Structure 1
Amino acid sequence: MDIDGADKQEEKPVKKAKVAAAQASASAESAAPYPDMALAQDIHRLTMIHAGKLSVDDATSITGTKPEDLLERVMLRVGAGSSKPFDDVIKENEEKYKAIEKEEGKDVSKVEAKEKEEQVDDSEEPLLNPELYRHLQSTLAYNSSSALSEDQLKTLAAHNESILAILAEGVTKAKEEAGDMEVLHATMEIARYQAKTGTKESALAAYENVLALPKLSVGKKLDGHLEMARVCSFWGDWRQMKDVLEKAQKIIASGGDWDRRNRLKAYQSLSNILVREFEPASKLLLGGIATFSCTELCEYPEYIMYAIITNLLFLKRTELKKNIIDGSEVLQVAKEIPVVLKLANTLYECDYKAYLHTIVDLQPHLVANRYLQPHSGYILRELHVLAFQQFLDSYQSVTLDSMAASFGVGTEFLDMQLSRFIAAGRLTAKIDKYGGVVETNRPDWKNARYQEMIQKGDLLLNRIQKLGRVVDL
């Protein structure tokens, strides 16, 4: 059971208010609150701390919470919470779903409105998920005195089975007494409860039952696929997430509103990051900055962070200035992502010394992010290549000492870095170690294009001459 996908390849004390540009859309507001992707990020950070890949100081700085407090909060959230006795939590949850079952067959819009009111505090509602609890207890070596016992975990499992039985009765009742919308609502309740309390396999199977319903609209099919993709992402199954989104793309080709199209693009952008397809991800992320509404997937500042990091690797300087550095949506969340914004600014301003220092500051933020951590080494390497190439593009030759001073590093270190990237074909330059000079070897693009045009012109002329001879005959 791979909760963060680490082998395949922040605590927020107060929930932050969403930025105005990232208000949830109508379809996003109706999305299931589970799986909770903020919780998945916290679990990933705890996994990185436990593995020694993220220091305690860095984790505390990023999350604003000590790791031991974050661990306690996560385990309470996955288990039965802390505000009420265990037995009371079980009893209240059972009463809640019995009340929902009584509503099945009635006006779906009224039921959904009532549920929306009850979802205000979903971010703190315990998951009651015994399988996830056991996995984290083992993986993170959680042995607190407040930990749930094995008997309590078995009680949770039995309780969840009883709730699923209640929800299944609701489906049967809806089929007998109501219409297609009520059946869809009742079947979706089972899938969403499985996403909250069950395993990846049980949740996906429940969503397949939803998608198998007759007369399902394109919009509802897309909603089901997006929620399935979130289940796959939560459990670290990147490959299956990509497969689910590919199916969603085929569905939306036959219809679908712009809101869901934009949400699908946001999901696809993160899926592309997970499989290191950064260029298509960068385009989707940049295009979605103004229309982002997937607050169930990630927070808006987090989305902007992904957009900046990926687009730094591909955007031209003029586009970087226009879309990132001076972008109004980006500036709205500047205070929440100071490191990545400083990275973009120092690169644009050619302040290479500050740029390298910012890369060092960026590293723990990459490790602490479940989407970027598997590619942190690759991203850091590409950011170095980007700066070195930008610097060398301004010179035909430059001394190693001068370049080292600009980057604020030692000459030997710079020599080693440049040699590695030149040998790998990442930099168009060569090093004269005897003279201590770096000579650029940039291709003459204008001349190359001129030669290409001449060759194509000759080819076209030959074809015209052959055609002329055929016509004369």
Structure 2
Amino acid sequence: MSETASAAEPQPDSVLQLADRLFQVGRGEAPVESLVAAVEHDGALPFWEASVAAGRVSAAVQSEVWETLSRDAIEQRNREERRALTEKIADARLHHGESEVREALVARSEYLARIGDVEQAVRSYEAALRATVGAGQRIDIYLAQIRLGLAMQDYRLVRRAMSLAREHIERGGDWERRNRFRVYEAVFVMTARRDLSGAADRLLDSLATFTATELMPLSRFIFYTVVCSLATKERPLLRDRVAKAPEVLQVILQYPPLATCLRGFVNCAYLDISRSLPGVLMLVRRDRLLHMHERYIAREIRVAAYAQYLVAYKSVTLASMAAAFGVGAEFLDEELSRFIAAERLHAKIDRVAGVIQTTRSDTRSARYHQIIRDGDALLNRIQKLSRVIDV
């Protein structure tokens, strides 16, 4: 495979699609028959068995799948496919050149990844790497390993492949692969580290150049971009880089609650934020990569909305703010108290007067005092050192 060919429009990765289908079946959003058909079509028996062993499949779904899955036929077909690929590699080594050997090794690796055989796929990819010289082609192999790790929730594999891919990209990866890798990084920090701010930065930087369609479709990319931005970015950025972005405008209406929530932040329509948030969280709950962070995302979006509202006031009544968000004063008092105690909001509540007073953190003064303290500590160390030298 040439460098030019590898840079063509990537096709959706089937093992990621299979992981999504398994998640949907587990939630009751897709019929079990569709999962059985996908496993049989791809020969993905190793994927299914690994998912069962990892506890990602309920007992009810397991029972129904095992009753209808043509296990023997899949195993026979996989044995024949493995044998054919092995013979192709041997033939390439005997009768052809290094390029053909590499292509045969990559083909075997892609097949093993497609069926979800992680251990054998990683070994095959390592063999392909040893036969690969071009930096771009090596990066493609590492990206394929990252996709396999994300599908199988093997974050150790993801971290290792991502570290190696980053090394090659920093040494001279091409523009297109750099952009794709930035999206991979965003997905990793979003899922494994729950760093929504870091994910939003990378996703926004990739907004106009998104080409990682082998990882996710554009609509899903926009969904992640908007959700991560809502939870972590301030109104001016949301307005200028998210709400006005042509790529977002092209897709956002596919997610009506998300569109309403974004519009609420931009227009300071806090009642719209409150009313649309349950719908946004429903979308998050239905996403395989984000569902485990649902409560965290809910909290971060609420904090962001409260902070945006309060920044415009020196003081405001609890009743007024409660009315703006469409919630009860008691509920708002309790929630704001938690966020204030956790130092997520700079405010204090006078419950007797029913007033919220905002407190501005004087960052300039804090930096000044920190410099003074650091300077005093440095002078003390210099004085101690001078006494030692004099002695």
Band the TM-score falls in, shorter-chain normalisation? 0.7 to 0.9
Retained in 1: the 8 A contact 2:9–2:211?
no
Task: Give the length in aligned residue pairs.
Answer: 367
Partner of 2:383: none
CA distance, structure 2, for counterparts of residue 329 and residue 419 of structure 1: 38
Are 2:54 and 1:139 equivalent residues in the alignment? no
> How is 1:30-429 mapped onto 2 (pairs within 5 angstroms)?
31=10, 34-47=13-26, 49=27, 67=29, 69-79=30-40, 126-134=41-49, 139=58, 141-142=60-61, 143-144=63-64, 147-149=67-69, 152-213=70-131, 215-274=132-191, 275-429=193-347
Deviations 1:174-213 (A, max 9, x none): 1111111100111111111111224222222221221122
Matched letter for residue 37 of structure 1: L
Deviations 1:29-84 (A, max 9, x none): 4757544323322322333x26xxxxxxxxxxxxxxxx3x53321221112xxxxx
Retained in 2: the 8 A contact 1:321–1:348?
yes
Unaligned runs of 5+ in 1: 1-24, 51-66, 80-125, 463-473
Partner of 2:388: none
In structure 1, the residue corresponding to 2:232 is in which secondary structure? coil
Matched letter for residue 151 of structure 2: F
Deviations 1:282-306 (A, max 9, x none): 1110010111111110010110111
Give the superposition deviation at 1:373: 1.2
Give the superposition deviation at 1:445: 4.6
Give the superposition deviation at 1:127: 0.9
Give the superposition deviation at 1:238: 2.5
Are the structure 2 counterparts of residues 446 and 28 from structure 1 closer, same or farther at C-alpha, using a change threshold of 3 Å?
same
Are the structure 2 counterparts of residues 272 and 26 from structure 1 closer, same or farther at C-alpha, using a change threshold of 3 Å?
farther
CA distance, structure 2, for counterparts of residue 26 and residue 177 of structure 1: 23
CA distance, structure 1, for counterparts of residue 78 and residue 88 of structure 2: 15
Moved more, 417-426 or 340-349: 340-349
Report the TM-score when normalising by structure 2. 0.86
CA distance, structure 2, for counterparts of residue 30 and residue 348 of structure 1: 34
Are the structure 2 counterparts of residues 198 and 399 from structure 1 closer, same or farther at C-alpha, using a change threshold of 3 Å?
closer
CA distance, structure 2, for counterparts of residue 224 and residue 341 of structure 1: 36
Give the superposition deviation at 1:452: 6.2
Partner of 2:382: none
CA distance, structure 2, for counterparts of residue 192 and residue 32 of structure 1: 13
Are the structure 2 counterparts of residues 26 and 306 from structure 1 closer, same or farther at C-alpha, using a change threshold of 3 Å?
farther
Unaligned runs of 5+ in 2: 380-391
Retained in 2: the 8 A contact 1:28–1:295?
no
Equivalent pairs: percent with the same residue?
31
CA distance, structure 2, for counterparts of residue 319 and residue 163 of structure 1: 51
CA distance, structure 2, for counterparts of residue 26 and residue 258 of structure 1: 15
> Over aligned residues, Cα RMSD in angstroms?
2.6
In structure 2, the residue corresponding to 1:439 is in which secondary structure? strand
In structure 1, the residue corresponding to 2:344 is in which secondary structure? coil
Retained in 2: the 8 A contact 1:36–1:296?
no
Retained in 2: the 8 A contact 1:218–1:256?
yes
In structure 2, the residue corresponding to 1:431 is in which secondary structure? strand
Report the TM-score when normalising by structure 1. 0.72
